[in-house]
Amino acid sequence: MYYKVEYIKPAFHNLIFEALIIVFLLSIWQGIYETRLFSEIVVTGPLKVIEYLWRPDILRQWNISLYRVMVGLLIATSIAVLLLVAGIVFPKIQSIMNVLVNTLRFIPPIAWIPLAIIWFGIGESSKEYIIIYGGFFSMFLSLFDAYRNLPKESLKLISINTSSRLKAAYYGYVLGLMPGFIHSIRLGFGVAWMSLVAAELIASDAGLGYMIEEGRMLLDTTQVVGGMVLIGLTGYVFDFILRIVERWCAWQN
């Protein structure tokens, strides 16, 4: 138990320091706002943003966005895992997947918005498509890198010392790929969460992306920055949690 705690402790080492940096930067931001050198349309204050984020409807906007990203990430994860399994079972198709993935991943999610609207309309499906597209490629490439880095000698030893192929696959691939799998989810969530704003530009009437766009149309800087802050904080918290899970999986291995 002691070694487990020691293994995941580095994830907490910089937490206090990072919190102090955030407080310091917020103080500078508030100081710039208090000087009134810029109009409120240009610069808002952190206290105004915090007050805005306490509004009861903000939680609803956050829940809608988080639900969209989680659904998209689940689908992207499923596709990435299925393609990885296909690549392991049929090695010859790896080169085909490599060409397709390394070509499509350079097209940004926002470039797909016109086609997403043509294909899926302006409902939830087009938003999910943008989020899935954003999260898939980083996950797939990370998973494949983890697979390529598996020690081949260990896989051979496991196959020799286990009684069935199913057990060999579990101990060799499932457990061996688990840290890389969690890392791929970290990467996929980051890109999917960043794709959220682009997805919610598609005729949306709720969500953090919609909140930012509405603030832009109303010239409400506080609303725009409030949406940005929520997106940033949510991404940081989820990444921190996944870092701990990733370290724990590595310790288990």
Domain assignment present for residue 233? The answer is yes
Cα distance between residue 236 and residue 40, in whole Å: 27
Cα distance between residue 71 and residue 80, in whole Å: 14
Domain assignment present for residue 36? The answer is no
Q: What is the pLDDT of residues 88-139, one digit of tens each?
A: 788 888 888 888 888 888 888 888 888 888 898 888 888 889 899 988 988 8
**Looking at the 3D structure of the chain, how many domains does it have?**
1
Q: For residue 143, how many other CB atoms are within 10 A of its CB?
A: 24
Can you give the pTM of this predicted structure? Answer: 0.78
Domain assignment present for residue 51? The answer is no
Q: What is the pLDDT of residues 144-203, one digit of tens each?
A: 887 777 666 655 555 555 655 666 566 556 666 777 788 888 888 888 888 888 888 776
With a CB cutoff of 8 Å and minimum separation 6, the contacts of 175 are 252, 253
Q: For residue 77, how many other CB atoms are within 10 A of its CB?
A: 22
Q: State the pLDDT at residue 74.
A: 92
Indicate the residue type of 66: L
225, HSE (Cβ side, Cα atoms, 13 Å): 19
Q: What is the pLDDT of residues 207-239, one digit of tens each?
A: 888 888 888 888 888 999 999 999 988 988 888
Cα distance between residue 232 and residue 143, in whole Å: 25
Report the CATH number that the domain containing residue 175 is assigned in CATH. Answer: 1.10.3720.10
Indicate the residue type of 51: E
Q: Which structural domain, as residue segments, surrounds residue 203?
A: 58-252
Q: State the pLDDT at residue 33.
A: 81
Domain assignment present for residue 49? The answer is no
Cα distance between residue 207 and residue 204, in whole Å: 8
Cα distance between residue 216 and residue 209, in whole Å: 11
Only one residue has tokens 């939680």, namely: 59
Q: Is the pLDDT of residue 13 over 80?
A: no
Closest CA to 216 of 201, 203, 196, 230: 201
Query: Tokens for 6?
Result: 């020691």
Domain assignment present for residue 140? The answer is yes
Q: Is the dihedral of CA 108, 113, 115, 116 positive or negative?
A: positive
Domain assignment present for residue 142? The answer is yes
